[in-house]
Amino acid sequence: MKRFTLLRVLLWASAMAFAPQLNAQTTDKEVEPPTDAPSPDDVQIVVPEAEANISAADARAAELEAQIEGLQAQLTELKTLVTKAQPSWKGAPQWTDSEGWSFKVRGRLMLDTAYTSIPNNFVANRNLGFNTRIRRFRIGVEGAVPGGFGYKAEVDYANSSVGFGDVVMTYVPAGKIWGLTLGNHESLNGMEQISSSRWSSFIERAQGNDAFGNSRRLGLSLNLHSKDNLFRFDTGLFAAHSIDASLDNDGWIGAARATYAPYVGPGFVHMGLNFQHREFQSNANGVNSTSIGAPSTNQLGRYRARPFLQTTDVRFVDTGSFAAKSDNIFGAELYGVFKSLHVGGEAQYVKVKSYSAGDISTGLDAFNGGSAVTPTGDPSFLSGFFEVGYFLTGEARGYKNGTWDRTKVLNPINKGGSGAFQLIGRFDYLDLDDAKLKNAATNNFATGVSTLAALNTRLGRGGTQTGYLFGLTWIPTDYVRFLVNYIHTEVEGGPLAATVKPLSTAPVDQRKYSTDAFAIRAQIDW
């Protein structure tokens, strides 16, 4: 309306400008009114056409104002659409909106090159020596759905085969201290196992996870946490197999994990306990299962581990198959993170419930063609490690929700820095040696040993493996890592002891030997 008021002022000013001229004209010459001029009382003031013009201008201005408001609304809507169409970046493109929808592409690529020495040059084994492989190539998606729902699905090429990583649906209601996870996910093992391989301290996880078959399973887990997120408790029920398995496995796993991470001085301490009870697949008339990733096949327990690398398939420690019903895994976790320094480790103790002579009929060969054995009791196994790591460049190891997380690089190379450098060392011990297993008989309960070879086979079950690991990790940016590992492995006993040390007069389970390995990994994730 200010525009219309201004117009009126201009018209008034124009009239005032002409007023002196009119006064001057009437002063110079007296004007005689016409004879037919109306009297003053009869004169009516006629509104000029300017008043009509003002009304038209008002209407036009109002029309223009409405058009401007419409254009502004369209512009706002267009900006919103453009924002939705253009993804943000967090290692990979991700889309979000105000309603709670989100979508992100995720994945990782890990390339390993390693050399593992042949102990005592005992035999030419193509699985030892130099090797290179794609350790993991994983591609997938993750996102959120309004209402507190989320999803993640990953296809994985690893160990020379195609499988799956996490394939889950989650439900975490807003403002609540609980959530649910349904699908193929980690069955609540120790911190190193359930942390992403992207953040592992060394190229491979601790050997206990390999030996005891810790991996993803199909199941449902309940997740609880305190309001300050320092205390967390998870429990779940899982199938004994992963999503990659066939449908012939009716075993199951019950698991639970509790962690507490209080702040201490310049950092924090992580404390955790975990437990799993695993019921092995029932014996179905001696027909072996084809399931992949199960802790047992056809109620045959087996525990074994590689020498800290997946570039070889040789196992220096191996219990062999034996008749077992179930096992219990007890785990403990303790870490401290203080600025650039972290220290700590984990331990796992496994107690196996085995078959005995009274559990199956003598003479029936229902366990894998007679190659399985029946222990003289319930064997037990132990594994544990301790590590120390330090960032030379000032970073702190990433931690989130009771697991390791991404380390934030202070001076990445894309911003003119040198990246993050970490030195790390580890002592790792695995004991698969148990007299109840070494003294076991075949499943026909035959007693006695007739040959030296038979004796060596029995004494060669299990073994102990100790690793001394040293590593240098370079993280040039948040999403790229290079790892260099040196590994010295010492073995006592095990299935290869008699072959590696054939001239030793010591019992097979007391023969010692060692091997060395050097490995490099190039890794990128998104």
Find the range with the poorest average confidence among 114-128, 129-143, 169-183, 487-501.
Answer: 114-128
pLDDT at 364: 35
How do 512-525 and 102-116 pair as beta strands? Answer: antiparallel
3-state secondary structure of 317: strand
In 360-479, DSSP assigns E strands to 373-374, 380-391, 398-400, 403-405, 420-431, 441-442, 464-477
Instruction: Give 331-351 pLDDT, tens digit per residue.
Output: 999 999 999 999 999 999 999
Confidence of residue 325 (pLDDT cuts 50, 70, 90): confident
Checking phi first, is residue 265 left (phi over 0); if not, alpha (psi -120 to 50) or beta?
A: left
pLDDT at 332: 98
Other C-beta atoms closer than 10 Å to the C-beta of 402 total 24
To the question of pTM greater than 0.95 for the whole model, the response is no
Beta bridge partners of 317: 305
pLDDT at 447: 43
Task: Please state the length of the chain.
Answer: 526
pLDDT at 80: 67
Confidence of residue 31 (pLDDT cuts 50, 70, 90): very low
Q: What is the mean pLDDT of residues 76-95?
A: 73
Q: What is the mean pLDDT of residues 502-517?
A: 94
Delimit the domains of the chain by residue range. Answer: 1-25+52-68, 108-525
CA distance 293 to 192: 18
C-alpha dihedral, 435 to 438 to 439 to 440, nearest 10°? 120
3-state secondary structure of 79: helix
Does the pLDDT at position 268 exceed 50?
A: yes
Confidence of residue 196 (pLDDT cuts 50, 70, 90): very high
Instruction: Give 377-427 pLDDT, tens digit per residue.
Output: 899 999 999 999 999 999 999 999 999 999 999 999 999 999 999 999 999
Confidence of residue 297 (pLDDT cuts 50, 70, 90): low
Beta bridge partners of 442: 373
CA distance 58 to 66: 12
pLDDT at 26: 43
Q: Please give the residue that has the higher pLDDT: either 430 or 457.
A: 430
Confidence of residue 296 (pLDDT cuts 50, 70, 90): low
On average, the pLDDT of the chain sits at: 84
Q: Do 117 and 516 form a contact (C-beta atoms < 8 A)?
A: yes
Does the pLDDT at position 455 exceed 80?
A: no
pLDDT at 7: 43
Q: Please give the residue that has the higher pLDDT: either 47 or 313.
A: 313
Q: Helices (DSSP H) in 275-353: which residue ranges? A: none
Q: What is the mean pLDDT of residues 21-32?
A: 46
Q: Tell me which of 2.40.30.10, 1.10.10.10, 2.40.160.10, 3.40.50.1980 is the CATH number of domain 108-525.
A: 2.40.160.10
pLDDT at 347: 98
Closest CA to 251 of 189, 182, 297: 297
Q: What is the mean pLDDT of residues 116-121?
A: 91
